[in-house]
Amino acid sequence: MKVAVGADHAGFDLKGEIVKWLESEGHLVNDIGAHEIDPKDDYPDFAIAVAGVIQSGGAERGIIICGSGVGASIAANKVQGIRACLCHDTYSARQGVEHDDMNVICIGGRIIGIELAKAVLDAFLDATFLPEPRFQRRLDKIIQVEQNGLP
């Protein structure tokens, strides 16, 4: 799978481990950065860059890592077509894709370690959207608001 990955300084170390692991699992990784530690960098820059790659079709899924994952999630969700969520457990990571067609996962580099991150990302990357009528109906409502604003 083509995966775009980005992190600010707070997610930098975990991103390095995740990129190596993803590549060893056979994924095609687009490492958006950061490529060096800069304590003055800002998570929105990396979140928006990853979201842009997903939006343009350059990758199927995105992974964004900041300190808590919260800011990255907020920033990524501002980009049209992005459905990003903060997930630190396998159930949410899988269910977010299956029920909500989540295409970007956000994790906190200061919250979880590499082994839990691998399990969470496995669940996220192995899941597919289940086109059941109730899930599609809900997704259509989200897309409608995104495209046209509030009803």
The helix, strand and coil proportions of the chain, stated in percent and rounded to the nearest 5, come to 50, 15, 35
pTM of the model: 0.97
Q: Among 138, 7, 126, 119, which Cα is nearest to 64's? A: 7
Q: Which of 27, 85, 87, 99 is catalytic?
A: 99
The model's pLDDT over 13-30, given as tens digits with 9 standing for 90+, comes to 999 999 999 999 999 999
Question: Nearest to residue 50, comparing CAs of 69, 37, 36?
Answer: 69
Q: Which domain holds residue 91?
A: 2-148
99 noted as active-site residue: yes
Q: What is the mean pLDDT of residues 39-52?
A: 98
Q: Which of 27, 66, 85, 106 is catalytic?
A: 66
What CATH number has the domain bearing residue 89?
3.40.1400.10
Give the number of domains in the chain. 1
Confidence at 86, pLDDT banded by 50, 70, 90: very high
Longest dimension (CA), the chain: 46
List, in order, residues 6 or more apart from 124 with CB less than 8 Å away: 61, 63, 87, 93, 94, 96, 97, 102, 105
